[in-house]
Each structure stands twice: as C-alpha cells, then as structure tokens.
C-alpha cells in the first residue's frame, strides 16, 4: 500500500511495538504529528514541557522496561534540545530512538530557518544516526534504527527526516521486527577456561558488578556465580540492583563514594572479577594502583572496553548473562570463609554513618526504603542526593535504580521518573533530587500534572549546590563561588502552581507520614525536605587518588586535629 512518509513513520513505530512516545511538535515535524493524531488510540504521546524532558523520559522508560524508548522533536532548537538526553543515554548504554525532522532537501545547507545538521551534531553521542532524504528508504531506516539501538551494547540512534520526505509517498509493506539475539559470537572457550583457572587458583576473589549486568538481566546468573565463587560483591553506580543489596556477600558500592569495605577489599584481593563494567575513573581512581595486588578478569559485551582503562589478565567478550550461564556450568563450588570473614569484618568496622540527631539526606533515603519496602523504582538527579540514594537504599532487583552515571546530567531524574512511571505504572516511582538539580527541569512537574502521572518528587533541599560545595569545603579553602542558592524560591508553592501537591518536611518525624500520604494520593507530589547546607557524602576518595585512600568524616576529623 502507498503511504506518506509520516504515515510510514507511525506504521513502523507500531511494527516495533512502540506504545508511548515523548516529544514536542514544531513546524518541520508537523506532518508526523498529524499522522500521530490519527493513531492516538494506538500510540500514547506525552507532550513534555521541554524537549530535554522528552529525551530523559524516553531514557527512563527504556531503563525501567528494557524496551526501546522513543522521543521526537522538530528541527533546529527542538533537535538540539534533545542533545543532552541523547548523550546521557549514550554514556549509559540505553536503547533509545530519537526522531527529528529537518527542512526539505532543497533547503538543506542554506542556513534555512530552524535548520541544523543534527546528524553531524550527534555523531559522537549516538550509536548510529541517519538523515533520510528519500521516502523509499524511510521504513528500512527506522527498522534498522531500532535493531541497532537494542542489539549488542545498546545505545541511542537518531533518525533525522527531511520535511518533504514526511509528505512524499512510497510503497509500504509491513514487516516483523528484526530478531535481536544476545551477543555470543566472541565468547571463546579458551577465554572461559582461562577465567575459570584464575578463579580456581584464587584465595581472595572479589566480584565487581557494573551496568552491563543490569542491561543483560543477569541477576539470577550473577547470584549463582557469586555463591559458587563464594566471593564478596561490590557494584558501581550503574550496577545497582543487578546483585541483591541485602545479600551477605554484598559489600556496597566501589569507588569515589564507595564503602571502605569495598574499596579496601578490592585493594587487598588477589583476583578481581569485573562483570559488565568499563572501569570508569570514578570507580578506579588512580589506575596505576587500582587492584594492585590482583589479577583481573573482565567480562563485557563490548570489545572496545577491554584494556581501555585498565589492562586486564583475562577477558571474556559477550553478553553478560550468556557468559555467566556458561561459566556456571563449568565452575566448581569454592570456599573462601577466611577471606569473607576478613571482608565482613571491614563491613562491620566501617559502616555508613550519618548524624542521626537531625534531618539529613541519608535519613530521608532510609525512610523511603522503609516506607516502600524497597520495592519502588528510584530515579535521581546528580550530586550528593544521588550518592545517598546509592548508599542507603537496598536495591533488590535490576531496573529499579535509574540515574545518570556516565554523563552526570543534572536535571535528568524528573523526566526519567515520568518515563519510568508510564512504562511501569504498577510501581511506585520516586525521583530524589537536590534543589539545584530540581531547578533545572522542574517544569516537568507540569507534565506530570497534565497527564496525572503520580510520580513522587523528593527534593533534598540544602539551599546550595551540595556536591560542588563539598568540594569547595574540602579542596578549595571554603571559597563558595556561586554555589549558594539561599533565595526565595518556594518548592511547595511551585508544585501547587503546577497542579501537583506540595509538602514541606523539616523534621525527621515528618518524613514517613509525608511519603505515606504521597503514595496514597495517586497524584504528582513534591516533598521539600529541608536539610543542613553542610551535610556531606562520605566515604570519599579525592579525584585521581588511590581507592585505598578512602576516608570518612572520622578520618577527616583526626587529620584536622
């Protein structure tokens, strides 16, 4: 049958099983929105308050559901407003398709109104991208975009379509989506055998889990593997939920704000088994001294990540779930009681601490965990509150902690929470933000109200840019250059003005009732939790320092005395 380019776009989205699109219309993409109008009973479109919110919502939807998230924007500034969200998805390997429209082919390259080479702009931050100038190539391009986004190491793909292509007609024949198989072509038997040999000879193994284990849905295989190896387990920020945070083998996060037990455990181990992690600088610290006493095994789907940041002794390239399945059939049960006792001793000796006399960020996070029973989806912005959310909430399952890890995008979490709640409506979704981050994209509360998406926005409000202030306190002689936000902004009134419910919390005993009320209302709620401006995230490793030099508030006090 013959369809216009715009109709082909919609039919291809339906082919791919897309049920939700986040976006913002404009002149060049109007034809697509007109076609979407005719299919609004099949594809739910959410009009965000800003295109960046649309990209973050598509990202959050993808992370919460495992499906490909879809966002749309018009040409020029509409397309460039997606860039931060696309880059966020790229850094964290999130499957997303961004559809933009551009000026007609004869107008390209003429500095036409709202013309931008968005394919050129996004080339470094997409897994692949296209500009479609021929309507006959449109359907196959969209199909391939979805296949690329979800296959291997996932990532965002951009499809830019000229306006005349959206109006022109071509033959369209429905097709089934491409089969997406787990990546196994690089899994070599000799690599598996070498890894198992290293495990068999290890006396002090340590397992480090990254975001690849979440993306691969390898939680079951990972737990079996950890129990067979009988090793302590740490995770990265992106790896939260891949390994049950309540397990006796779990030692907490690794890296700059990781636990002392994890950082010192990795320093003292003789074998580090790294699963689905790219050895980010925030994890590694000083690469020359990282895991200095250990041989290192790296399991990752992306060959480009092997020996990129840390040179390893053994690598297995392939989908994490598939690799662990094969290793679990070959590996014997080990006993490392002495080593585990040593690491557990560090867990008990160096627990995460905070001031229990006043309302603090960690207390708020612990109350969120208690009230939700640990069954919520937690999204975050970036900063102190993000680290507290990683440290003090026990994540039991993958896809329940959604945060910007690689790019560190302030303003990410609120849009992501909208996408997560739309994708998983049965789950309680709570976005934890600092007041600085919340200001960046707080207009998306209006989006939540418009569609009555009952997310809960918790603002850890210290009236400063908390993490930057922490660095200024510790490393910049307390010179607080442009980090104080002590002004007249009232988040409760702002929430009410946008059609949401606003609740202010200033005391510890007010936190649980506020959360319980928010969960009962079935409406968007903003909870403004006012804390002290000098609360800090500990433990901490200075940037570029060895992770064994991790320090906490007690160490700092001793040093100052």
The rounded distance, in Å, linking the Cα atoms of 325 and 512 is 41
**488 contacts: CB under 8 Å, gap ≥ 6:** none
Is 1 one of the annotated active-site residues of the chain?
no
C-alpha 302/C-alpha 212 separation (Å) is 10
Closest CA to 433 of 496, 474, 387: 387
Cα-based angle 196, 197, 202 (whole degrees, multiple of 5): 95
Say which of 163, 240, 260, 421 is annotated catalytic: 163
Candidates 410, 440, 442, 467; catalytic one: 467
DSSP string, 217-236: T-HHHHHHHHHHHT--EEE-
- DSSP helix/strand/coil, 110: coil
CB 269 within 8 A of CB 336: no
User: How far is the first Cα of the chain from the last one, in angstroms, to the nearest whole number?
Assistant: 80
Tokens of 169: 């007609």
Q: Distance between CA atoms of 24 and 422, rounded to whole angstroms? A: 17
Chain centre to alpha carbon of residue 74: 25
Q: Give yes or no for a contact between 37 and 1, defined as CB atoms under 8 angstroms apart.
A: no
Tokens of 388: 């507290």
How many other CB atoms sit within 10 Å of the CB of residue 1?
8
The DSSP H or E segment spanning 411 is none
Of the candidates 11, 51, 221, 548, the residue annotated as catalytic is 51
Q: Please give the Cα distance from 1 to 393 (Å, whole number).
A: 53
What is the distance between the alpha carbons of residues 255 and 237, in angstroms, rounded to a whole number? 9
Catalytic residue among 44, 113, 188, 349: 113
Chain centroid to CA 158: 19
Residue holding tokens 């636990």? 259
Closest CA to 432 of 463, 410, 407: 410
Does residue 163 have an active-site annotation?
A: yes
Q: Is residue 113 among the annotated active site residues? A: yes
Q: Which of 114, 397, 427, 517 is catalytic?
A: 114
DSSP 238-254: TTBTTB-TTSTTEEEE-
At residue 524, what are phi and psi to the nearest 5 degrees? -65, 135
CA 402 – CA 237 distance, rounded (Å): 10
Cα gap 81→126, rounded to integer Å: 15
Q: Are strands 2-4 and 169-171 parallel, antiparallel or unpaired?
A: antiparallel
Task: Please list the active-site residues.
Answer: 51, 113-114, 163, 467
């Amino acid at each position: 049958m013959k369809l216009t380019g715009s109709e082909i776009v919609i039919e291809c989205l339906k082919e791919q099983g897309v049920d939700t699109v986040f976006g913002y219309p404009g002149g060049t993409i109007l034809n697509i929105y007109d076609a979407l109008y005719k299919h609004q009973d099949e594809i739910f479109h959410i009009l965000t308050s800003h295109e960046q919110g649309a990209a973050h919502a598509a990202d959050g939807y993808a992370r919460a559901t495992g499906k490909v998230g879809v966002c749309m924007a018009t040409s020029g500034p509409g397309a460039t407003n997606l860039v931060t969200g696309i880059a966020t998805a790229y850094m964290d390997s999130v499957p997303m398709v961004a559809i933009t429209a551009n000026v007609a082919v004869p107008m390209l390259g003429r500095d036409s109104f709202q013309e931008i080479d968005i394919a050129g702009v996004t080339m470094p931050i997409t897994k692949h991208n296209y500009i479609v100038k021929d309507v006959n190539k449109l359907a196959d391009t969209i199909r391939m975009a979805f296949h690329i986004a979800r296959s291997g190491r996932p990532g965002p793909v951009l499809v830019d379509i000229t306006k005349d292509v959206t109006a022109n007609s071509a033959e369209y024949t429905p097709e089934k989506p491409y089969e997406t198989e787990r990546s196994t072509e690089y899994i070599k038997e000799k690599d598996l055998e070498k890894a198992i040999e290293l495990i068999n000879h290890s006396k002090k193994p340590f397992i480090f889990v990254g975001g690849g284990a979440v993306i691969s849905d390898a939680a079951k295989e990972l737990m079996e593997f950890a129990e067979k190896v009988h090793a302590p387990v740490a995770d990265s920020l992106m790896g939260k939920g891949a390994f049950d945070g309540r397990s006796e083998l779990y030692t907490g996060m690794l890296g700059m704000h990781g636990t002392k037990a994890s950082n010192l455990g990795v320093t003292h181990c003789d074998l580090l088994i790294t699963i689905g992690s790219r050895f980010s600088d925030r994890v590694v610290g000083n690469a020359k001294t990282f895991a200095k006493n250990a041989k290192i095994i790296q399991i990752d789907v992306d060959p480009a990540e092997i020996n990129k940041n840390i040179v390893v002794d053994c690598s297995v390239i392939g989908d994490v779930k598939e690799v662990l399945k094969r290793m679990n059939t070959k590996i014997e049960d080990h006993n490392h009681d002495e080593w585990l006792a040593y690491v557990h001793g560090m867990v008990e000796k160096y627990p995460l601490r905070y001031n229990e006399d006043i309302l603090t960020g960690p207390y708020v996070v612990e109350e969120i965990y208690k009230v939700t029973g640990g069954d919520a989806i937690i999204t975050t912005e970036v900063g102190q509150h993000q680290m507290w959310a990683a440290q003090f909430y026990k994540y039991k399952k993958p896809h329940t902690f959604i945060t910007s890890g690689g790019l560190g995008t302030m303003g990410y979490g609120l849009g992501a929470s909208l996408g997560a709640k739309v994708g998983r409506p049965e789950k309680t979704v709570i976005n934890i933000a600092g007041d600085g981050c919340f200001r960046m994209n707080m207009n998306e509360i209006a989006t939540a109200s418009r569609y009555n998406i009952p997310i809960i926005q918790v603002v850890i409000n210290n009236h400063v840019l908390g993490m930057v202030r922490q660095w200024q306190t510790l490393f910049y002689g307390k010179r607080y250059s442009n980090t104080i936000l002590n002004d007249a902004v009232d988040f409760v009134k702002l929430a009410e003005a946008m059609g949401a419910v606003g609740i202010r919390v200033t005391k510890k005993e007010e936190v649980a009732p506020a959360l319980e009320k928010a969960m009962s209302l079935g409406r968007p709620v903003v909870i403004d939790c006012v804390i002290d401006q000098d609360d800090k995230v500990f433990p901490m490793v200075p940037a570029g320092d060895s992770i064994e030099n991790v320090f906490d508030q007690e160490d700092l006090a001793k040093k100052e005395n």
